[in-house]
């Protein structure tokens, strides 16, 4: 009985907000709104008869999976971070906070952190600019074979990372690589050692990542560009705004949320860069002098080359903390953007 009462109460609670919204005199699309809220009410009435406890059953599979494959390993890795954990050994030595204090003074960790952010920068920022550019081209209604171009953009994304790394490894060869060959033709006096030097190697890896994700992000930008109401451009045309002005003052501001989204997803991916540097260097150290060792590669090296699972777990916890800090910054930025939207 109480269940039925709950479900009856639910739509009641929401009703006032709906009423308030539809009565808001400042909203221009007033009639549309009320229609939509009617529809919503109907759906709610449709579900009303169902016992809401069923909801838990529907979401349970995810939470069971999450507990087994998500939370349990997290707790386990926090646990082993306090040990000198030998993966195949029988007795583990309790270490206390040693792994964490060792990590803070480990120069290799800071090198990995620096490399990760450097690769992230070179892969995310130019990629975003190029993706917006590509999306603007694809948006052009006069473009022939638009579907073909949009489809082909996704091809790099479904290519295996390993295959990409092998091909790019050859392109970026020092002596006989195509990139150096092309640069020489363009008049560059000496070959760049793409693999052995830190900055060039970061750019090489960033190129790999960019090549793979550019099309995907371009499509996301394209989707949100197509959602921009065309009357904005029409009125801008009437006011005599140039194409660039339209891009700068209509397209870009309207893309703000998408840019934030792409940036967040890019940052999450950027902190996990692993396969590209691994395959490019052919070892777990990220190149002969750690020039492109990333955080996840460093974690892997400690776990599987040095057999220090406890230390690797400590690195994992540090990565989590870094992700949390970055997420907090992202959250703050997003909130500021949305509050600016409200001001407008």
Partner 1 sequence: MNRKTSLRSAMALLVVASLTLVGIQPAQAAKTQVTIWSYGNVIEPWGEQEYERLHPTIDLKIKKNSMDANHQSLITAFKANTTPDIAAIEVSYSGFFRSYPKYFTNLAGLLNENDYLDWRWDQGVGIDGKVIGIPTDVGGLQVAYRKDLFKAHGLPTDREAVGKLWPTWQAFINTGKTYVSKLSTAEKASCKTKKVCYGFIDNAGTMYPAILNQGAKKYYESNGTLIYNSNANVKTAFTTTATAMNSGISTRINQFTSDWNAGMMKGVFATVLAPAWMLDYIKQQAKSTSGKWDVADLPGGGGNLGGSQLSVPAAAKHPAEAKAFIKWYLSPAIQLQIFKRYGLFPSASSLYNDPALTGYKDKFFSNAPIGQIYVTGARQLRPIFEGKNQRAIDNYFGQALAKVAVGKMTASAAWSDAITQISKNIKN
Q: Which residues bind partner 1 (CB under 8 A)?
A: 84, 86-89, 93, 102, 106, 108, 169-170, 173-177, 184, 189-193, 195-196, 282-285, 288-290, 302, 304-308, 311
Give the Å distances, CA to CA, from 116 to 53, 99, 111, 143: 45, 21, 9, 38
- The number of C-alpha atoms within 13 Å of 180 and in the hemisphere containing its C-beta is 17
Cα–Cα nearest to 293, from 166, 159, 189, 202: 202
Q: For residue 55, with 0-12 CB atoms within 10 Å meaning exposed, 13-18 middle and 19 or more buried, which class applies? A: exposed
Cα–Cα nearest to 315, from 333, 331, 332, 295: 295
- Residue found under tokens 């759906």: 43
Write the DSSP assignment of 74-123 as a string of letters.
HHHHHHHTTEE--TT-S--EE-TTHHHHHHHT-HHHHHHHHHHHHHHHHH
Q: What are the φ/ψ torsions at residue 199 (nearest 5 degrees)?
A: -65, -50
Q: Cα separation of 212 and 5, whole Å?
A: 53
Q: Tokens representing 302? A: 């400690």
Contact between 242 and 204 under an 8 Å Cβ cutoff? The reply is no
Q: Cα separation of 318 and 107, whole Å?
A: 14
Give the Å distances, CA to CA, from 313 to 39, 88, 122, 269, 302: 50, 16, 28, 20, 9
Per the DSSP assignment, residues forming a β-bridge with 93 are 84
Contact between 273 and 119 under an 8 Å Cβ cutoff? The reply is yes
């Amino acid at each position: 009985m109480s269940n039925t009462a709950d479900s009856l109460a639910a739509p009641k609670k929401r009703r006032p907000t709906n009423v308030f919204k539809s009565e808001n005199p400042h909203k221009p699309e007033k009639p549309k709104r009320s229609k939509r809220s009617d529809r919503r009410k109907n759906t709610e009435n449709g579900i009303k008869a169902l016992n809401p406890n069923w909801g838990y059953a529907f979401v349970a599979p995810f939470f069971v999976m999450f507990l087994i494959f998500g939370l349990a390993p997290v707790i386990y890795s926090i646990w082993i971070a306090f040990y000198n954990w030998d993966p195949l050994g029988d007795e583990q030595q309790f270490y206390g906070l040693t792994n964490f204090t060792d990590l803070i003074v480990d120069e290799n960790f800071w090198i990995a952190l620096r490399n990760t952010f450097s690769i992230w920068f070179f892969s995310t920022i130019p990629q975003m600019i190029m993706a917006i550019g590509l999306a603007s081209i694809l948006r052009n209604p006069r473009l022939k074979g638009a579907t073909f171009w949009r489809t082909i953009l996704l091809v790099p994304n479904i290519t295996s990372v390993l295959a990409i790394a092998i091909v790019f490894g050859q392109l970026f060869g020092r002596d006989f690589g195509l990139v150096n060959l092309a640069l020489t033709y363009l008049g560059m006096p000496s070959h760049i050692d793409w693999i052995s030097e830190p900055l060039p190697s970061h750019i090489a890896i960033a190129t790999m990542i960019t090549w793979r994700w550019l099309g995907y992000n371009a499509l996301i930008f394209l989707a949100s560009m197509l959602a921009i109401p065309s009357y904005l451009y029409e009125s801008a045309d009437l006011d005599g705004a140039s194409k660039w002005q339209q891009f700068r003052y209509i397209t870009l501001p309207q893309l703000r949320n998408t840019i934030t989204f792409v940036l967040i997803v890019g940052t999450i991916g950027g902190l996990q860069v692993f396969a590209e540097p691994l395959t490019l260097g052919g070892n777990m150290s990220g190149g002969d002098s750690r020039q492109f060792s990333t955080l996840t590669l460093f974690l892997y090296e400690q776990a599987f080359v040095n057999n220090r699972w406890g230390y690797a777990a400590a690195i994992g916890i540090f990565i989590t903390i870094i992700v949390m800090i970055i997420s907090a910054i992202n959250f703050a930025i997003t909130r500021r953007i949305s509050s600016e939207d409200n001001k407008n």
